Structure 1
Amino acid sequence: MEQEQAPERRNNNRVLLIVALFLVLLGINGILFYMNQQKAKQNEQLTTDIKAKDVKLEEQIKQYETLKGDFERQSQELQGMGLANDSLEAKIASINADLLKLRSFRAGSFSIADQKRFQQRASNFERQLRQKDEEIAQLKKDNETLFTETQTLKDRQNRLSDTLTTVARSNQELSEKVAIASRLQAENIRIAVINRRNKEDDDDDNEFRARKVDKVKVTFNLSRNDVAPKETKQIVMRLLEPDGSALYNLSTGGGTFISEGNEAFYTAKQEVVFDNTRQPVQFVYAKGAEYKPGAHTVELYADGYMIGKTSFTLK
């Protein structure tokens, strides 16, 4: 009886052992499954963290690239205004160095400490950027004000120049008018001839015998002129023969003078102090040879301008 129960117990024990082993294996599989689940979650979290870090890194790089572009814009604006921009060039160089460091990070190696450090630097750059934008805006405003003031000054200068030109032109015209008005005039011009016996002969018709003429006498008055200054005037006489040539002799006081820009010969000259009293002036000319028959002309000049003219005839 006991011998029959022994195999049955052994079979039961074997079943129990198999069940226990199955349960142990099942537990081990459960533990392994749990550990795999946890590791998968960890890997998934790690992947998420790496992606987040990579996103932060890309955002940081883009932020620095934007800062670089803004500082380059400011540099160009200052150059356009003709101003030095050494400080901006230094900032651009510093941003380029930071960009080089940011781009050197491997995937997932951009730590929180790195993020904070570069974000702080970026914040400082942004603050400096805003300050410089305000300075540039003020400079542009000041330049516009200065341009407006300069343009106003130029307009005033142009108007003043125009006014001065007008005044100068008016003064020149006035001076010319005064110069013309101040010209002397000869009046009451009379011709007389003197023979070799020093006897004088005059004729209202101004006709004389040529063979009796030794000297020609010209008398006249300087007419009143309240504009002309009271000063010494050089009076020039030209005695023109019938052929139009002027009688002149260096030994008797003849020579050349400038009349209205042209050089001409004169017969005689003398200096007179004009006193505005209708003072008389007289020329006596001796040719020293026989006079040619025909119409002779007497021209009188002062300051290079003709002040009187008459003629006489020698028969």
Structure 2
Amino acid sequence: MDENKSQEQPSYMKPKKNRTPVFIVVTFLLLTAVVFFYYQNQQLEDEKEKQFQEILLTQAKLDSVGKELDIRIQTIRELGGEVDTLEAIKAQLEADKKQLLVDAQYQRGQISKLNNRVDGYKELLLIKDEEIKQLKVLNDQLAEENTTLKVEKNQLNQTVQQLEQNKKELASKVAVASRLEIEGMQINAINDNGKERDGGEYRNRHIQQLKIQFTVVENEIAPIEGKELLLRVIAPDGNVLFDVTRGSGSFTFENREMFYTAKQEILYDRNSQLVTFLYTKGSEYAVGQHKVEVYTDDYLMGKGSFMVK
């Protein structure tokens, strides 16, 4: 038993095991894991960068197509074409752009589809360019036709204006030609005894009443109607003999008021007609020449004169 004890050795006296290989293996594994994760992370970063560049490129394509769509929409609208389809496509494009920026899941799955859609948009733009060419040709034709119509309208307006002018001139000529005239005015004096004197020169004592007689001449184009004849007897001082109690009044001639001495209404039937005015003044006449004028419808029909001595 003592011999066995002498053979046993304390634990600190036992030889130590070599752990270096284990440490090397563990270190290798850790380094391998670090390298693997670094490589994997680098791949992910590269993939993200690649995806980001694809997003930017796709975004640029969508922006470019959007601007081209705006140009086509404006051009077609100005040419009078339909733009509903293009506006719907533009709205879809804007929605795609917005979704591309905010939705990562959408980004990974839709970039390729959007690129294909951009190609479709470009083909649509080419189709719309052809439509724009046709619309421009049509608008040029319409503009030319419109110009022709404007020229024809101007010519027609000028013709109508000329016809209106001719009509007015003709109406004016007819109005002038239809005016009534008088001839053969005879102014006689009747005294208190009813004796009538002629000759155009009278003394006051011979003029108890004036007899003014004339003929309204024949006019085939004058209307058949009642005519009011206005007689003006004008004294040497320029004043019109005027007495309301004896039928005097006023009328408008060339935009100014004028007085008349007496009036008489006749029915004119286009034939010559003898008209007689009898005027009693009631007082002596001024010495000198007196004028006599006859008006109707605001125009002068004729005139005469007599002398008081």
Choose from 237, 251, 255 the match for 1:261: 255
The CA distance in 2 between the partners of 1:183 and 1:160, in whole Å, is 34
Q: Which residue of 1 aligns with 2:153?
A: 157
User: Does the CA contact (< 8 Å) of 1:296 and 1:313 recur in 2?
Assistant: yes
Is structure 2 residue 160 aligned with structure 1 residue 169? no
Choose from 252, 271, 274 the match for 1:277: 271
User: Does the CA contact (< 8 Å) of 1:300 and 1:309 recur in 2?
Assistant: yes
Q: Which residue of 2 aligns with 1:41?
A: none
Choose from 119, 129, 137 the match for 1:123: 119
The alignment covers a number of residue pairs equal to 267
- Cα 1:114–1:217 shift into 2, 3 Å: closer
CA displacement, residues 251-306 of structure 1 (integer Å, 9 cap, x when unaligned): 21110112222211101111122233321111010011222222111111122211
**CA offset at residue 181 of structure 1?**
1.6
**CA offset at residue 66 of structure 1?**
3.4
Root-mean-square deviation (CA, aligned residues, Å) is: 3.4
User: Does the CA contact (< 8 Å) of 2:228 and 2:265 recur in 1?
Assistant: yes
Choose from 218, 223, 233 the match for 2:227: 233
Choose from 271, 279, 290 the match for 2:284: 290
CA displacement, residues 179-237 of structure 1 (integer Å, 9 cap, x when unaligned): 1122111111111011112221112xx11111221100011111222332232221111
The CA distance in 1 between the partners of 2:183 and 2:99, in whole Å, is 107
1:191 match: secondary structure: strand
Choose from 187, 190, 197 the match for 2:186: 190
Is structure 2 residue 129 aligned with structure 1 residue 139? no
CA displacement, residues 104-132 of structure 1 (integer Å, 9 cap, x when unaligned): 899xxx98x76652343223323433333
Instruction: State the TM-score, normalizing by the size of structure 1.
Output: 0.72
- Cα 1:225–1:100 shift into 2, 3 Å: closer
The CA distance in 1 between the partners of 2:243 and 2:201, in whole Å, is 25
Unaligned runs of 5+ in 2: 1-42
Is structure 2 residue 306 aligned with structure 1 residue 312? yes
User: Does the CA contact (< 8 Å) of 2:219 and 2:271 recur in 1?
Assistant: no
Choose from 67, 70, 78 the match for 1:69: 67
Letter matched to residue 92 of structure 1: K
2:264 match: secondary structure: strand
User: Does the CA contact (< 8 Å) of 1:211 and 1:291 recur in 2?
Assistant: no
The CA distance in 2 between the partners of 1:114 and 1:209, in whole Å, is 126
- Cα 1:190–1:92 shift into 2, 3 Å: same
Is structure 2 residue 235 aligned with structure 1 residue 251? no
The CA distance in 2 between the partners of 1:259 and 1:104, in whole Å, is 90
**CA offset at residue 93 of structure 1?**
4.0
- % identical equivalent positions: 36
